[in-house]
Amino acid sequence: MIVTISFSATEGNRDALVAKLIEIIPDTLAFDGCNSIDFVESQDSPGSLMLIEDWDSHERYDAYKSWRRESGTSVLGSDLVHAASVSSSYYDVLST
């Protein structure tokens, strides 16, 4: 399953947000069921960011999200991110 999460940095927080996400991505990759993550930024709109994640299943991704919330390490709920800008989509892989 592919998960895309798009979001925007709050004013003046782009660099801090990028640094924080780069810092925590290894923990996400180590979580059971996470196969890969690409962290990208729009060339047309700096500060518009996206995570593209490959997970074994929706259940493993949900367990990961719960762990992030419970551990207090979720960046997407922080003041670094425009809350209204967060959008998630889920995809099934049809070919490789």
**Which pLDDT score is estimated for 77?**
84
| Domain range 2-77, CATH class | alpha beta
The predicted structure's pLDDT at residue 26: 97
Residue ranges of domains in the chain: 2-77
* Ranges of the chain with pLDDT below 70: none
Kindly report the pTM of this predicted structure.
0.93
The radius of gyration computed from the CA coordinates of the chain, to the nearest angstrom, equals 13
What pLDDT is recorded for position 96?
77
pLDDT given for residue 66 in this prediction:
96
Distances (CA, A) of 82 to 69, 74, 79, 88: 17, 14, 7, 14
